[in-house]
Amino acid sequence: MNFAFSDDQNMLRDQAAKFLAARCPTSAVRKILEGEATWDKALWDGIVELGWTGVAIPEAYGGLGLGHLELCVLAEELGRVLAPVPFSSSVYLATEALLLAGSEAQKQAWLPKLAAGEVIGTFAVAEGAHQPTSRSLAAKVENGRLDGVKLPVPDGLIADFAVVMARTSTDAGARSASLFIVDLNGPGVTREAVKTIDPTRNHATITFKGAPAEALGGTGEGWALSEAVFDRAAVLLSFEQVGGAQTALDMAREYAMGRYAFGRPIATFQAIKHKLADMFVALELGRSNAYYGAWALASGSADLPVAAAGARIAASEAFYLAAKENIQTHGGNGYTWAYDCHLFYRRSKLLALTIGSAPHWKELLISRLEARNAA
Partner 1 sequence: MDFEDTPEEAAFRAEARAWLEANAPSPEDARKMGRETTNEAESLKRAKAWQAKKADSNWACLHWPKEFGGRGATPIQRVIWEQEESRFAVPRGFFEIGLGMCGPTMMNWSTDAQKQRYLPKMLRGEEIWCQLFSEPSAGSDVAGLRTRCERDGDDWIINGQKVWTSGAHYSDFGIIVTRSDPTVPKHKGLTFFFIDMKSPGVEVRPIKQISGTSNFNEVYFTDVRVPDSQRLGKIGQGWEVSVSVLMNERLAVGDAPGPGFDEAFALAREVELESGPAIRDSNVRQKLADWYVQSRGLKYTKFRTITALSRGAVPGPEASITKLVSATNLQNIASFGMDLQDMGGSILDPEVAPANAIFQQALLYSPGLRIAGGTDEILRNIISERVLGMPGDIRVDKDVPYNKLPTGKA
Q: Which range in 20-28, 78-86, 274-282, 329-337 contacts partner 1 by CB under 8 A?
A: 274-282
Q: What is the dihedral angle through the alpha carbons of 74, 76, 81, 82, rounded to the nearest 10 degrees?
A: 100
262 binds partner 1 (CB under 8 A): no
Q: Are strands 121-124 and 161-167 parallel, antiparallel or unpaired?
A: parallel
State yes or no: residue 2 binds partner 1 (CB under 8 A): yes
User: SS3 sequence, 172-196?
Assistant: CCCCCEEEEEEECCCCCEEEEECCC
**Closest to partner 1 by CB, 15 or 288:** 288
Q: Which is nearer to partner 1, 41 or 274 (CB)?
A: 274
Q: Which stretch binds partner 1 (CB under 8 A): 131-139, 148-156, 168-176, 251-259?
A: 251-259
| Whole-angstrom distance, CA of residue 146 vs CA of residue 176 | 15
Half-sphere exposure of 211 (CA within 13 A, CB side): 31
Going from the C-alpha of 226 to that of each of 15, 49, 63, 68, the distances in angstroms are 33, 29, 23, 18
How many CB atoms are located within 10 Å of the residue 369 CB? 13
DSSP three-state, residue 282: helix
Q: Quick one: which segment of 52-60, 153-161, 266-274, 321-329 binds partner 1 (CB under 8 A)?
A: 266-274
Residue 232 binds partner 1 (CB under 8 A): no
When the beta carbons of 66 and 163 are compared against partner 1, the nearer one is 66
Q: How far apart are CA 342 and CA 335, in angstroms?
A: 7
Cis amide prior to 152 (ω within 30 degrees): yes
Contacts with partner 1, 305-344, as mask; x by CB under 8 A: ----xx--xx------------------------------
Q: Please report how close the Cβ of residue 236 comes to partner 1 at its closest, in angstroms.
A: 15
Pairwise CA distance, residues 235 & 241, whole Å: 10
* Contact criterion met (CB below 8 Å) for 59 and 111: no
Q: By CB under 8 A, name the one of 61, 87, 223, 292 that touches partner 1.
A: 292
Task: Enumerate residues 339-368 that contact partner 1 by CB under 8 A.
Answer: 359, 361-363, 365-366
**Contact 319/294 with Cβ under 8 angstroms?**
no
Q: Is 289 in the site for partner 1 (CB under 8 A)?
A: yes
Give the nearer residue to partner 1 in terms of CB position, either 102 or 334. 334
Site string for partner 1, 156-185 (x = CB under 8 A): ------------------------------
Q: State phi, psi for 78 to the nearest 5 degrees.
A: -65, -40
Q: Is 71 among the residues that bind partner 1 (CB under 8 A)? A: no
Q: Which is nearer to partner 1, 289 or 354 (CB)?
A: 289
- List Cα–Cα distances, 150 to 2, 128, 138, 164, 340, in angstroms: 43, 7, 9, 9, 31
Beta bridge partners of 183: 161
Considering only the C-alpha atoms of the chain, give the largest distance between any 2 of them, rounded to a whole number of Å.
Answer: 73
* 267 lies in the binding site for partner 1 (CB under 8 A): yes
Of residues 135 and 264, the one with the C-beta less far from partner 1: 264
Q: Given the rule CB under 8 A, which of 17-25, 56-64, 162-170, 260-268 is the region that contacts partner 1?
A: 260-268
Q: Quick one: which of 131, 142, 278, 371 contacts partner 1 (CB under 8 A)?
A: 278
DSSP 4-73: S--HHHHHHHHHHHHHHHHH--HHHHHHHHHSS-SS-HHHHHHHHHTTGGGTTS-GGGTS----HHHHHH
Residues 9-68 that bind partner 1 (CB under 8 A): none
- Number of residues interacting with partner 1: please give it, by CB under 8 A: 51
Contact set with partner 1 (CB under 8 A): 1-6, 69, 249, 253, 256-257, 264-265, 267-268, 270, 272-274, 276-278, 280-281, 284-289, 291-292, 294-296, 298-299, 301, 309-310, 313-314, 359, 361-363, 365-366, 369-370, 373
